[in-house]
């Protein structure tokens, strides 16, 4: 059953902020959205289509923010991160400006459109940017809520948006928003930390594993930076097995940040990082099949939870050794 579309929720939240505030702008690289059309009709001077020019979009956004405005930039995730990465680093982050990136198409939302449109490398890129808050909401309710959180921060932020519109979990509490992650189910045998579209898969997998006698805590990590340290550090101390799940390449994403946290914390649970491969997915990529192959679908997560040999690695994740 379809739930609240994350993109609709995001533009609804922006419309609320812009309703009586002439200092809220939305820039787009010629990407459309119903919510954007509505906002343009209501506040025409505050919605600007810069054309397909991502570098300039971010520089102009930074200039508008220097002038005292809150600026949202919107486009396809893969295009509005890597193409304009230096503008994000220097124009936005170096000045700690309130520019909030909105990227539609996280993970393999656009899998069938080919590798140019895959949003599977950006977490590593974005979280390397100093001062950049990175949100990866799992559902529409969360997506709307983090718009306000990002705007209130007064600094650089980026919100990944998925094309899936799952039935939302309960609305985030103020405490959840502050924490950056929340516990959806609890169990003592394992900790599943999931983000974005993988959260729903992880909850289902944990329900099935529970029937098989493995009780897992499932965490929705909707903010990847700043890392939800307080909650995660506490949870990491309490379990023998940690499984991270993300629809992102294996380098630099959620699994990497949890590995960093485990190292920093000095705890020693077994860590299984479930992700897409460190690879370019050529051709039309079906989301379900790619998730299954990478072991980030419900079955794959369940297998990781119930695996006897918890140190086993996923063979397909091993880099190919070339002679």
Partner 1 sequence: MGALQQKAAALRLQVMETALAAGKGHVPPAFSWMEIGVALFHGGVLRLRPDDPTWGARDRFILSKGHGCLTLYALLADLGFFPSSELATFTRDGSRLAGHPDPLLPGVEVVSGSLGHGLGLAAGLALSARHDGADWITATVLGDGECHEGSIWEAAAFASHHRLGNLLTIVDRNRLGATTSTERSSALEPFADRWRTLGWDVREVDGHDIAALQEACDGLPRGRSGPPRVLIAETIKGKGVSFMESSESWHHRMPRGSEIDEARSQLVHALEGAT
Q: Which residues bind partner 1 (CB under 8 A)?
A: 22, 45, 48, 50-51, 53, 55-56, 58-69, 86-87, 90-91, 94-95
CB of 126 to partner 1, least distance (A): 19
CB of 67 to partner 1, least distance (A): 3
Q: Tokens 């000045």 belong to which residue?
A: 95
By C-beta, is 46 or 302 nearer to partner 1?
A: 46
| Whole-number Å distance between alpha carbons of 141 and 160 | 14
Write out the H or E segment, with its range, that includes residue 255.
Answer: helix 254-265
By C-beta, is 69 or 302 nearer to partner 1?
A: 69
CB of 97 to partner 1, least distance (A): 10
Q: What value does the CA radius of gyration of the chain take, rounded to a whole number of Å?
A: 19
CB of 23 to partner 1, least distance (A): 8
CB of 60 to partner 1, least distance (A): 4
Tell me the angle at which helices 198-211 and 298-306 cross, rounded to the nearest 10 degrees.
50
Cite the DSSP H helix spans in 43-163: 54-66, 85-86, 122-127, 140-153
Q: What is the DSSP letter of 94?
A: G
By C-beta, is 64 or 190 nearer to partner 1?
A: 64
Q: Which two tokens stand for residue 251?
A: 């380098």
By C-beta, is 52 or 151 nearer to partner 1?
A: 52
Which residues touch 147 (CB under 8 Å, ≥6 apart)? 9, 10, 13, 14, 17, 100, 159
By C-beta, is 72 or 110 nearer to partner 1?
A: 72
Which residues touch 106 (CB under 8 Å, ≥6 apart)? 77, 119, 136, 160, 161, 162, 196, 197, 247
By C-beta, is 53 or 251 nearer to partner 1?
A: 53
Q: Which two tokens stand for residue 295?
A: 């072991």
Rounded-to-10 torsion of CA 4, 166, 135, 116: -110
| Whole-number Å distance between alpha carbons of 258 and 235 | 11
| Whole-number Å distance between alpha carbons of 258 and 238 | 15
CB of 146 to partner 1, least distance (A): 24
CB of 59 to partner 1, least distance (A): 3
By C-beta, is 87 or 217 nearer to partner 1?
A: 87
CB of 281 to partner 1, least distance (A): 28
By C-beta, is 86 or 167 nearer to partner 1?
A: 86
- In 3-state terms, what secondary structure has residue 58? helix
């Amino acid at each position: 059953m379809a739930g609240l579309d994350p993109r609709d929720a995001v533009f609804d939240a922006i419309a609320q902020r812009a309703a009586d505030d002439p200092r809220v702008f939305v820039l787009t690289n010629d990407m459309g959205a119903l919510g954007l059309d509505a906002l343009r009709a209501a506040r025409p001077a505050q919605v600007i289509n810069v054309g397909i020019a991502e570098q300039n979009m971010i520089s102009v956004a930074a200039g508008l923010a220097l002038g005292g405005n809150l600026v949202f930039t919107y486009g396809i995730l893969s295009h509005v991160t890597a193409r304009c990465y230096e503008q994000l680093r220097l124009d936005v982050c170096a000045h700690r400006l309130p520019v909030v990136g909105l990227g539609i198409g996280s993970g393999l939302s656009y899998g069938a459109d080919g590798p140019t449109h895959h949003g599977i490398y950006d977490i590593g890129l974005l979280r390397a940017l100093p001062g950049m808050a990175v949100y990866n909401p799992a559902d529409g309710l969360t997506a709307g809520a983090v718009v306000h959180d990002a705007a209130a921060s007064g600094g650089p932020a980026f919100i990944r948006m998925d094309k899936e519109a799952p039935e939302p979990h309960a609305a985030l509490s103020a405490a959840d928003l502050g924490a950056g992650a929340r516990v959806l189910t609890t169990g003592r045998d394992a900790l599943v930390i999931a983000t974005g579209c993988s959260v729903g898969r992880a909850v289902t997998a944990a329900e099935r594993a529970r029937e098989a006698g493995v009780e897992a805590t499932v965490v929705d990590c909707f903010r990847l930076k700043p890392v939800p340290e307080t909650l995660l550090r506490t949870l990491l101390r309490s379990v023998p097995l940690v499984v991270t799940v993300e629809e992102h390449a294996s380098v630099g994403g959620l699994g990497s940040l949890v590995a960093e946290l485990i190292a920093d914390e000095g705890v020693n649970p077994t860590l299984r990082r479930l992700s897409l491969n460190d690879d370019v997915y050529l051709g039309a990529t079906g989301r379900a099949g790619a998730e299954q192959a990478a072991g980030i679908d419900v079955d794959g997560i369940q297998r990781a939870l119930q695996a006897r040999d918890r140190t086993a690695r996923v063979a397909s994740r091993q880099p190919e050794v070339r002679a």
